Structure 1
Amino acid sequence: MNIAENGIYLNLGLKKGEAVRLLHFSSHPQEMEIGDDDVSVYTLAELQASGFNQNDHHGLKHTGSSPSLLMTYEYYRDYRNDYGRKLEVIQKYKGLELITHIQFYDGIAAVNFVNEVVNHSEEEYALEYVSSFALTGLTEQAEGARDKTGILYIPHNTWFGEAQWKKYTLNELGYDAVNSFSMKRIAVSNTGSWACVEHLPMGCYYNTELDQSVMWQIETSGSWHWEVSDIRGTLYVQAGGPTYQENGFLKLLKPDEHFFSVPCTVSAAEGEFQKAVAELTKYRRRIRRKNEDNEKLPVIFNDYMNCLMGDPTTEVLKPLIDSAAESGCEYFCVDCGWYSDGHWWDGVGEWLPSDRRFPGGIEEVIRYIRDKGMVPGLWLELEVMGINCPMASRVSRDWFFQRNGRPIIDHCRYQLDFRNKEVRDYATGVIKRLVEEYGVGYIKMDYNIDTGVGTDYHADSAGEGLLSHTRAYLGWLDEIFEAYPDLIIENCSSGGMRMEYSMLARQSIQSVTDQTDYIKMAAIAANCATACAPEQAAIWSYPLVEGTEEETIFNMVNAMLFRIHQSGYLGQIGEQRMQYVREGIACYKKIRKDIREGIPCWPTGLASMSDEYISYGLTNGGKQYLAVWRTGGEGEKSFEIPLKGKSGAAAEVSCIYPEKKETSFTVNGNCLTVSLAPKSARLFLIATETRDGE
């Protein structure tokens, strides 16, 4: 079955009495037939259950899984829904049914894969692994050696250092073509409730010979796994949610039960990396909950970063609110600390305002924010409860994650279990009080612990308990947005520790990072559009009290092609520097309509923390906005930036921020040369002429 949809070419082998094969998936039609001896390993889905033979010399690789190899093709459904074309491919083995859901999106070269396992039998199956996306043949149409024709992009992630992609040859990662297959795999996994604690749940393989990329994103806030290795002389990639081997996951599928794998969306594109990101950006916008926040892109002031740092009071907040309103901010969020008289880390959970901090009540501050023309917000961390919270000793133990009969404690907090209806009701009550009694329109929802493998309480395994909890939490979020459709909830997990699209399909804005160094912020900001749509990516701008004009400008440029998360003691930075903040926010308000539909680009490649010069752009129609940073070095130094899409005539380039400060740049055909002093940044507008196909 050959399918061509939205620039994706997909070929399924559908033969009665045999397992279904995924024979081809790329941005180009299949040109080479697969030999009869090899076709059996081109599995559409890998499914491993306890007690079944894994019929492959595999080592730790998830190949040769069974009962997926025992499945036989039954039929398929082919229809259209609101997104586009939808395929459902049905296979069966005895009373076990495997349904592969393949969702296309009109006008977007990205496909969402989910595998559903249904037990129609009278026996129980112990599921150890269910892939979401399994593609064999990454090197099938290339003539060169499979370890020499590929580049693998791996998105490293950490607190203060989000979205730091590195690209490797397969040899650099220890993989060599030693025979027709090897035991070596390149595997990236996450175990725990911080889905992005070490890596984003993404990856990209670029075939240098074919000039084609395949990029995947796994959509879960919990455990996940992907691997690249070989079988029968070609490379494969598998991606999905938790596994028994890597993540302590086991699902006991009882009669009449069904199980869905974690969604995985895959884009295929010509060229290296950037077009694949463009397709994922379009996809993220298509599947996201419709909301005004991502249409209007309001400017948010948050009092935390390089400012109050968790110590708010009515007295210190009022001058900050005045300065935020004067600068042009439209939302004001009171961050952590509002619920406690002093040290609060291990006592959170009741979410009642401190009378000592707010003698006139938190409502006085909320009213003051509204009187200044801004929407008020508060910080919450609803998924946890401190071990010294008075409420913790009053509620049942089954409110909390448990392992081996004991509550899990991480960083002096319990993890609340959202499978428990009492927990969900408690969380809903807190939201109801903040919105209906306090008048809050914005919630910064933080999450600062990692549960590890999960909870085994009322679960088939700790990994299954974690997955069920994450799905229950998402269901709770859906209920909150149904009740309060205009409420903005910011997705924050110590910055970007859960920067992924099971959350961001619901929440309109992502706190990308907690990085406090504005220079290091540039590399994070420049790369964050790989992980989320630019209009969802909140980047801090926090001018320092003892800073300079260039420092203030650098801070603003960090945020101006994303969502401005303004902070800092604006009333103490002086009038000239405050003017640069006002100018930056005013400029942002003029261009934000282009940000919400802009496609990210990296004219000089993805950024690294060690780069002296960094560039990042957004293209929308005939316009491109380009941020250029110089992070260090000595003296004036020039930086050449290619301008793709120009027909050869000189581009029309202007520095739109700051407008009146001297900026040295020249344009020569398809090249923009910018000269910046160390630790300075500029924002440019470039008039583009797009070639056909670009």
Structure 2
Amino acid sequence: MPDIRLKRGISLLKQLLSEFTLNDMKLEYWMQPSSQQVGLLLLPVHLAEKVDVAKEYAVDPLIQVKLIGDDYPGGFSQGKTMRNSQSVLGFKYDSQYVMEDEKGKHIVTLLKNDRKHIIEHKLSYYPEFAACEVGTTFINQNTEAVQLEMLSSFSMGGMTPFRAGDTPASLVLHRMRSKWSNEGRLETLAIEDLQLEPSWAKFGVQSERFGQVGSMPVRGYFPWAAIEDTKMNIIWAAQLAHAASWQMEVYRRDDAICLSGGLADREFGHWVKTLKPNERLVSPKAYLTVAEGHIDQVAQRLTAIQAKALSRIPEVEKDLPIIFNEFCTTWGNPSHDNISNIAKKLEGKGITYLVIDAGWYIEEGKSWESNMGDWNVSPQLFPQGLEATIQEIRKNGLIPGIWFELETCGPLADSYARTEHLLHRDGIPITSGARRFWDFKDPYVVEYLTEKVIRFIQKYEFGYLKIDYNETIGIGCDGVESMGEGLRQQMEAVEAFLQKMQKEIPELVIENCSSGGHRLEPSMMGLTSMASFSDAHEELEIPIIAANLHRAILPRQSQIWAVLRKTDSLHRLTYSMVNTFLGRMCLSGDIYDLEEEQWKVIDEGIRFYKKISTIIKEGFSYRYGPTINSYRHPEGWQAVMRVSSDRSQVLVIFHTFGGHLPEQIDIQLPFDGTYVIDSIYSEDQQRIKLQEGMLVYHTQGEFHAAAVLLASV
């Protein structure tokens, strides 16, 4: 056992087991000698000496786990939390070791109980990122099976360690709420408003458990949370990478707050998992960080580490090329004639991908929403065959793309009746609205979709695949020991199919779409080049949602639509084009019918986007402006500053909404440096000035937008 030292004279209730300095973060592993429990405390390095050594609180265990048969926790907790049960108390510290490789450092902590169950907690750190990657493995070395009904990916405690006592009026929870076409709304709540103050007798436990149940992981909340000490300006933040049901918990039983997250447990997510002798279960990965600063700054420490998975992205994606998706042009009725006309209109416009969206498989008497699953090219829409259409796309210098909703079947498709290959609940095919779901654990389904999707893409040489997903499986499915475990295995198998596709077509660009933004979490983002940011395709709130997502995903992966209408004024077209500068540009709409003056606005926007693509790809974002209350009827303004990694360029994107507006908006650069205006995209460039390090925008009225590129001198 490693040497255990006292920490700066702190109470004997806990002792320092080990500590690691990882760039600007300090990791401290603490042990409670009486219970042999080990916990994790994250600190900014430069503030580690400001920890209040007199503060007393229990070590929060590294792992939260619950085994069926063990006692449940007390303190009025059943139905509210499963944390700190008898199972957790049974796991004692065994050992800790460090591995290093060319990528980074890996700290492995082993916990064991007296029933030959082992938990491996692995924390990995990569020097180029300011966050840690954490995961849990449960190993059953007993001769009998064990049933789990809870397993966390991470748990960290000690918040806040900078002052003694329960630190009233200083701690807040940040989380991101989400619903269809209204993604990523930041919610900030005082710990007191969540009733997470300790009781007068320190009896009973308080828990705020939240998450998502189903196969749309960003529905209700993003798998993301942060605790802020507002007096010290310190934020601890965490993000889960999981495409199925998940949960996070803010928990309190004494003077410190704890935050944990992982698989949705039995109470929350209908999950039980049986592990036979010598079987193991690996939890979803989580990302953790701590830093001094604003929530936007700390959140981007988590998004940055998502770039680790992007080494597999096809070469064509390196410059963040522009997409044209025809859905808001044909509305589910693509044909050889209209796709060919679109391709001709786009020739030489600087657009790379032309995506054929839903409807290409329509059969006589069947709509695009009701016929997913059979995936036969429509002879009515493509009488010359799809080859002729693809040829027209490529002839005009574009890469063809295609839409699939490959996980589901529509009610008028033959595949809808192949119930032996679909997911069931209670012995009945799961029917959610107008969709049923393929069982990806079934070899038949993998073979069928390999032929219908992978071979189809190879045959027609598509370079781009949009994967949509427009319903949720819900609590789970039959076939294994619990509904939640059935769902976990289903989504694990879906991701395995995507990996198979990447392996067989490595040059394929894949878009992750789920009714817009229902799958904006790291595991799905790591398997795709980009994601649809939202389905708010033509709405005034687009820039609000797009700015929100800078906290959750990389802007280089956030595909933002500008739907161009022949009825649009020039200032409306400018507004729509500026929206796309907050991520990846995707165009759609009435491109046959636009006037020359309208095309000038669009062409200028395309040129500006190409100038700023390097900042979108590698940079850091700052948001300015008042909180926007109503997204459907927004009032006020916002500005987003995106700074290149080397600070040689600064992009500032302005949007005004409704209501009372200031005559001018002043933006101060958050760092030293001398800059000049390189270029402006705006209706009236004279309204933007750079004066002594202050960027000034003289507003033009409601629902206007402008973008400015600054260059260092």
Does TM, normalized by the shorter one, top 0.5? yes
Note the C-alpha offset of 1:293: 4.7
Would the aligned equivalents of 1:46 and 1:66 in 2 still touch at CA under 8 Å? no
Q: Percent identity?
A: 24
Structure 2 contact 38–93 (Cα < 8 Å) conserved: no
CA apart distance, 1:420? 1.4
SS of alignment partner, residue 471 of structure 2: coil
Which residue of the other structure, out of 194, 215, 220, is the alignment partner of 1:198? 220
Q: What does residue 25 of structure 2 align with?
A: 8
Q: Distance in 2 between matches of 1:325 and 1:384?
A: 34
Per the TM alignment, residue 605 of structure 1 is displaced from its structure 2 partner at its CA by: 7.0
Cα distance in 2, alignment partners of residues 278 and 605 from structure 1: 20
Aligned to 2:672: 646
SS at structure 2 position matched to 1:89: strand
Residue of structure 1 in register with 2:607 after alignment:
586
Q: TM-score, normalised by structure 2?
A: 0.91
CA distance in 1, matches of 2:522, 2:592: 37
In the TM superposition, residue 454 of structure 1 has moved relative to its aligned partner by 0.7
Residue in structure 1 matched with residue 103 of structure 2 by the alignment:
83
Between the aligned partners of 2:148 and 2:272, the Cα distance in structure 1 is 6
Looking at structure 1, the residues matched to 459 and 36 of structure 2 have their Cα atoms a distance apart, in angstroms, of: 58
Unmatched tracts of structure 2, length 5 or more: 1-17
- Which amino acid in the other structure matches residue 653 of structure 2? A
Of residues 171, 176, 180, the one that matches 1:155 is 176
Aligned residue for 2:391, secondary structure, equals: helix
What letter corresponds to residue 358 of structure 1 in structure 2? F
How much has 1:196 moved relative to structure 2? Answer: 0.7
In the alignment, structure 1 residue 244 sits paired with structure 2 residue 266: yes
In structure 2, relative to structure 1, the CA distance for the partners of 1:182 and 1:321 (3 Å cut) is: farther
Please name the residue that 2:153 is paired with. 132
Deviations 1:198-231 (A, max 9, x none): 1111112211112111111111111110111312
Q: 1:412 corresponds to which letter in structure 2? A: A
Q: Secondary structure at the match of 1:285?
A: helix
Inter-partner Cα distance in structure 2 for 1:384 and 1:657: 42
Which runs of structure 2 are paired with 1:263-662 in the superposition (5 Å)?
A: 263-291=285-313, 292-305=315-328, 307-341=329-363, 342-393=366-417, 395=418, 397-457=419-479, 459-604=480-625, 609=631, 610-620=634-644, 621=646, 622-633=648-659, 637-646=663-672, 651-653=675-677, 655-658=679-682, 661-662=684-685
Q: CA offsets, 1:423-464, max 9 Å, x none?
A: 11212112233222212111110000111101122x110000
2:625–2:637 Cα contact (<8 Å) kept: no
Shift of 1:315: 2.1
Q: Which residue of 2 aligns with 1:70?
A: 90
Q: Is the 8 A contact 1:293 1:508 kept in 2?
A: no
Say if 1:58 and 1:64, in contact at 8 Å, map to a contact too. Answer: no
Could you give the per-residue CA deviations for residues 24-65 of structure 1, whole angstroms, max 9, x where no partner exists? Answer: 1122326547779844x4211111111112344251233322
2:290 match: secondary structure:
strand
Q: Which moved more, 1:445-454 or 1:336-345?
A: 336-345
Question: What SS does the aligned partner of 1:539 have?
Answer: strand
State how far apart, in whole Å, the 2-side matches of 1:635 and 1:130 are.
49
How far, CA to CA, are the matches of 2:520 and 2:422 in structure 1? 24
Map of 1:99 onto structure 2: 120
Worse-superposed segment, 505-514 or 202-211: 202-211
Q: Please state how far the C-alpha of 1:148 moved relative to its aligned partner.
A: 1.2
- 1:145, CA displacement in angstroms? 4.3
Q: 1:437 to 1:504 in 2, by over 3 A?
A: same
The correspondence of residues 48-67 of structure 1 with structure 2, limited to 5 A, is 48-57=66-75, 59=77, 60-67=80-87
What amino acid is aligned across from residue 167 of structure 1 in structure 2?
A: T
Residues 591-610 of structure 1: per-residue CA shift (max 9 Å, x gap): 21232111222234776523
TM-score scaled by length of structure 1: 0.93
**Counterpart Cα distance in 1 of 2:676 and 2:686:** 15
Structure-1 separation of matches of 2:401 and 2:668: 42
Point out the more displaced range, 442-451 or 346-355: 346-355
User: For residue 141 of structure 1, what is the aligned residue in structure 2?
Assistant: 162
Q: In structure 1, what is the Cα distance between the partners aligned to 2:392 and 2:250?
A: 55
2:288 and 2:211 map into 1 onto residues whose CA distance is 17
The Cα offsets for residues 298-341 of structure 1, whole Å up to 9 and x where unpaired, read as 11000013x22211122222222222234321100010001003
Q: Is the 8 A contact 2:346 2:396 kept in 1?
A: no
Distance 1:157 1:7, change over 3 A: same
Going from structure 1 to structure 2, the CA distance change for 1:107 and 1:398 (only over 3 Å counts) comes to same
State the SS of the aligned residue for 1:69. helix
Give the Å deviation of 1:130: 0.7
Q: Residues 129 and 242 of structure 1 are in contact (CA less than 8 Å); yes or no, is this contact kept in structure 2?
A: yes
For residues 254-265 of structure 1, what are the structure 2 equivalents within 5 Å? 254-265=276-287
Q: What secondary structure is seen at the aligned counterpart in 2 of 1:131?
A: strand
Could you say which residue in structure 2 is the equivalent of 1:22? 39
1:675: how far off?
A: 1.9
Supply the distance in 2 between the matched residues of 1:414 and 1:51 (Cα, whole angstroms): 36
CA 1:460/1:489 → structure 2, altered by over 3 Å: closer, same or farther? same
